Amino acid sequence: MPLLRAAARRLAIFIGTVVVASIVIFLIVQALPGDVAQTTLGMGATADAVAALRERWGLDQPLAVRYGQWLVGMLHGDFGSSYITGASVVSQMAPRLAVTGWLVGFSVPLSLLVAWPLGLVAAMFRRRWPGAVVNALSHIGLAIPVFFVGTVATIIFAVNLGWFPANGYVTLGTSVSRWASHLVLPVASIVVVQACFLARYVRAGFIDVLTEDYYRTARAVGWTRWRGLVRHGTRNMATSLVTVVGVQIASLLVGAILVEQVFVLPGLGTMLIQAVQARDLVVVQDVVMLLVFAVLLLNFVIDMVYMAIDPRLARGGRG
């Protein structure tokens, strides 16, 4: 089974990449110059006090030992405790993961839903004005930072029109309607930027379909220009979009962190930024590791999915 062997090889590479990534993250945080204990206690602290704190945090042990403890702990679901508050990182992360999860969970399908018709129109009219307009829009959309989109949306829809709250978050359990209204603007901001990003790939995918023989066949059996492209293009376009999703997730991550800041949402990004400001190294290390792991895992899954689809397309589609 060459397929199985290839999958095993991919899995090995994935695990190796995760381990190396964890080493990189650990080293950047722990081995770069900068003494956390000293910073935490301030410049006036006595050497004894600093040494005591270093011992309490385990910073006096060799790097390799600390890395080993961190890695083994994570494998057991123990992400350690915050230097600053002493609280367990896992218990802090759980509710924040939910906020970021909603944000990302709504944004991905919605941005695909918006990008699809945009890309379709841009592909069909690629030599006429609607194509140029969509093209220009996606250009401009890519140039506008997501936090600016969020800020402008707040100014218009929260401050001036008062349709939605300007910032903050309410859990789903507290009130469904208020939870939803707090998510509308953040999600919309991400969707605007992501849709512009995706629309270019959707467009390129549909343009490829337009030159394919099976599209000509579809037209020859009676599909109209548009319905034929929708019917026989979407699925073929989507297979080429699979590889882009990995890139999208990585960029979505960044978008989510920024948008959480704009709308003061208590998500992982906010937790991360607060931890950086407080120089809470354990929290930073853990959250970044979690996010990197998520991206790597997703890419691995996409690779596997693609491998499952690919033999069919390789023999059937490009003959």
Partner 1 sequence: MTLLAIDDLSVDFGRHHRPALDHVSLLVDAGQRLGLVGASGSGKTVLASAVMGLLPDNAHLTGTVRFQGRDLTRLPDAAFSRLRGQDLTMVFQEPMTALDPTMKVGRQASEVRRLHTRCSAAQARAKVDEIFTRVGLDPVSQIADAYPHELSGGQRQRVVIAMAVMNNPSLVICDEPTTALDAMVQATVLALLVEELDRVDAACLFISHDLDVVSSMCDDVAVIHGGRIVETGGVDEVLDRPRHPYTQGLVATARIDAVGPGQRLPVIDDFSSTSDLVQAASEQCDTPAPTRQDR
Partner 2 sequence: MKRLTVIVGLVCSGLVVLAALVSLVWTPYNPRRVDPGHKYAPLSWTHLLGTDMQGMDTLSRLLVGAQTTLVVGVLAVAIAAIVGVPLGIFVGMGHRFVGEVVARGMDILFALPALLLAILLAAATGASVGTATIAIGVSTIPIFVRMTRAATLTIMNQDYILAAQVSGTPTPVIAVRHVLPNIAPLLGVQAAASFSMAILAEAGLSYLGLSAPPTTPTWGRMLKDANIFIAPTQAVIPGIAIAVAVLGFNMLGDGLRDYLDPRLKEVR
Distance in Å, CB of 35 to partner 1, minimum: 48
151 versus 239: smaller Cβ distance to partner 1: 239
180 versus 238: smaller Cβ distance to partner 1: 238
Check if the beta carbon of residue 90 is closer than 8 Å to that of residue 78. yes
Cα of 3 vs its chain's centroid, Å = 29
Cα–Cα distance, 48 to 59 (Å, whole number): 14
Alpha helix ranges (H) inside the chain: 2-31, 36-41, 47-56, 63-75, 89-124, 129-143, 146-153, 176-210, 213-220, 225-262, 268-277, 281-316
Q: How far is CA 46 from CA 42, 58, 144, 187, in A?
A: 9, 18, 48, 48
Task: Write the DSSP symbol of residue 81.
Answer: B
Q: 130 is in the binding site of which of partner 2, partner 1, none (Cβ under 5 to 8 A by kind)?
A: none
Mapping DSSP to helix (H, G, I), strand (E, B) and coil, where does residue 80 land? coil
Distance in Å, CB of 247 to partner 1, minimum: 14
Q: 145 is in the binding site of which of partner 1, partner 2, none (Cβ under 5 to 8 A by kind)?
A: partner 2
Q: How far is CA 274 from CA 206, 257, 269, in A?
A: 43, 12, 9
52 versus 295: smaller Cβ distance to partner 2: 295
Q: 166 is in the binding site of which of partner 1, partner 2, none (Cβ under 5 to 8 A by kind)?
A: partner 2
Residues that bind partner 1 (CB under 8 A): 126-127, 200, 203-204, 207, 210-214, 216-225, 231-232, 235-236, 239, 312-313, 315-319
Residues that bind partner 2 (CB under 8 A): 13, 16-17, 20-21, 24-25, 28-30, 32-34, 132, 139-140, 142-148, 151-152, 154-155, 159, 166, 250-251, 253-254, 257-258, 261, 272-273, 275-277, 279-281, 284-285, 288, 291-292, 295-296, 299
Cα–Cα distance, 60 to 218 (Å, whole number): 70
Q: 276 is in the binding site of which of partner 1, partner 2, none (Cβ under 5 to 8 A by kind)?
A: partner 2
142 versus 172: smaller Cβ distance to partner 1: 142
Cα–Cα distance, 94 to 99 (Å, whole number): 9
- Residues 84, 88, 92: CA angle, nearest 5 degrees: 90
Cα of 289 vs its chain's centroid, Å = 13
47 versus 220: smaller Cβ distance to partner 1: 220
Q: 5 is in the binding site of which of partner 2, partner 1, none (Cβ under 5 to 8 A by kind)?
A: none
Distance in Å, CB of 258 to partner 2, minimum: 6
129 versus 315: smaller Cβ distance to partner 2: 129
Distance in Å, CB of 144 to partner 2, minimum: 5
